[in-house]
Amino acid sequence: MTTDSSPAPFSVLGLAPVIPVVVLDDAADAAPLARALVAGGLPAVEVTLRTPAALDAIRAIAAEVPDAVVGAGTVLNAEAVDAAAAAGARFLVSPGTTDRLRAAMDASGLPYLPGVSTVSEAMGLLERGVTEMKFFPAEAAGGVAYLKSLGSPLPRARFCPTGGVTAESAPRYLALPNVGCVGGTWMLPKAALAAKDWATVTKLAGEAAALGGTR
């Protein structure tokens, strides 16, 4: 799956208790934003492929912020997998999973979190040896109670719930043994990003990172 020159694989779920989900319209903001998140204790940065600036943002973080582990989110097809990998993404995240997409992510050699929202989807990935998944959209798909109910029948599956997770609900997710981390945007308030108020981002990132100490 990987070549001898590829970085050693790692667990995306083990990078930090919270993965910031970043949407950027200006790639010039990417590096300072990533530095602010890293300074607060959140090294994993998921840049979603939702804007024209996304790939340039990934390139900037990969080149300029060595302490960050930049990933690509909203990966929908094989072309996006290739583009994200070429830009320097170190992990991949998808909102859902198809056989073609899973195969492309697997072939990339990068760690990835394929999206699931049902038991059958999770079982399908487990059959293929994939044990780490994104649970999306977390709140709309059943939230903490749903994930708790999956623990006994699917003991090998571990999740990163994303979608509607807040600073208040994150500790309840993180208390579950089958949750490795959560994804969220609450440490990235729009007003702070618009004002390039990186100090506020660092402060909120620090509070999010501290949630790991409650586990």
- Kindly report, residue by residue over 191-213, the tens digit of the pLDDT: 999 999 999 999 999 999 999 86
Judged by phi (left if over 0) then psi (alpha if -120 to 50, else beta), residue 88 lies in left
Which of 83-97, 154-168, 200-214 bottoms out in mean pLDDT, i.e. has the lowest? 200-214
Contact by Cβ (8 Å): 97, 81 = no
The letter for the amino acid at 19 is I
Taking alpha carbons only, the member of 114, 91, 90, 119 closest to residue 103 is 114
Q: At what angle do helices 99-108 and 78-87 cross, to 10 degrees?
A: 20
Instruction: Please give the pLDDT value at position 66.
Output: 97
Closest CA to 97 of 139, 28, 157, 38: 157
Residues that are catalytic: 46, 134
Residue 27 has pLDDT above 50, yes or no: yes
Q: At residue 119, does pLDDT exceed 50?
A: yes
Measure CA of the first residue to CA of the last residue in the chain; give whole Å: 33
